[in-house]
Structure formats: C-alpha cells, structure tokens
Amino acid sequence: MSNRSSVLSTADARRPLVAAAAVREFARGGFHGTTIADVGREAKISPAYVFKLFPSKERLFVAALESCFEQVLAALEEGADRAPEQNADSILFEMGAAYAELIADRTLLLLQVHAQSVAEIPEIGEALRAGLAKVTGFAQSRSGGSDDAVQRFIAYGQLCHLIVTAHIDEVPESWAAILSHGIRHPD
C-alpha cells in the first residue's frame, strides 16, 4: 500500500511540471500542431506517462490553460498590490502593466490565443471561459471598478494580444498608430 502512495505522490508532483511543459509546447504549436510526444519530450518523460497523468490531449491542454490563468491572476495581484493609490483606476492601470510584463515573452499570450482558436472543443471552451471569469471577477473585486471599467480593462488586454501577435506596434502606418495609441508594452 505504501508503494502505491509513493506512486501517486510522484504523479501528483509531476502534474504541474508536465502542465508547465504543455504551456510551452501548446504556445509554440497550438492544440492541433502539438503532440503528446512533444509535451513528453519537453517534460523529459515518455508520452505514455503524459497520458497516465492526463488521459487525453484535451485534458492536457486544459491543464496548461489553467496553469496559464493561475500565472495571470498572480501577476494581476502583484500589479494591484503595487498600485500607488488604492482606487479602481490606479489598480486597473497597474494590473495592466503587470499583465504586459507577464506576456512580454509571449508564451502565455500565445497559449490564450490558441485556446481561443479551439474554443469550440467543449473542454477547452469551458476552461477558457472559467479562466476569463476568474480574471474578470478578480479585476472587479480587487479594483472595485465599475462594470464598464473592468470591461475596458479586459478589452484592452485583448487589444494587447492583437497588437503583440500581429506586430502592429512595428507598423509605421496610421491605422496601426490608432490601434496602438496609449497601449504600453515592456521592451
């Protein structure tokens, strides 16, 4: 019986490591372009063991997405805590800055974009909505902002995704300047 317990604890310890590897791999290749073998290779375990931990590719992607949103929430909390004034505008501004810093390496941003592209897969769509619900709820409860202020915060986050993924901030045309105006991204 104790041998079985150690196997379970090893599996429990491996799940977050495999989920972190899945974040990186799914961000690179998306849901359809990433295999269980890719994730196993990144996690330095066999594909069979990945399947033991996550019985389907959908479940593995969901675990990666849940990990992504946990990191987003942690960054938003750090941003809120460093707001110089504890009012809605200041807190949401600092949350936005913290999020921009978090997605500077693009991994979490790309995972979210890939999740949006396959949200018709029931498990993934449900996990995406759950993550967005947590982010929205946290932004509203922590900032005390109005529904309109929180909607703007989320909308600007999605606009940041578009600007970064399409490299709009590098385009020297007026339409790009309109979309990028007022949006800050760390170098």
pLDDT digits (tens, 9 = 90+) for 159-185: 988 998 899 989 999 999 999 988 766
Between CA 61 and CA 51 the distance in angstroms is 12
Residue 68 falls inside a structural domain:
yes
Number of domains in the chain: 1
Between CA 137 and CA 133 the distance in angstroms is 6
Residue 186 falls inside a structural domain:
no
Domain that holds residue 134: 2-180
Between CA 165 and CA 91 the distance in angstroms is 26
Q: Residue 90's closest CA among 152, 140, 156, 143?
A: 143
Residue 85 falls inside a structural domain:
yes
| Regions of the chain where pLDDT drops below 50 | 1-2
Q: pTM for this structure?
A: 0.89
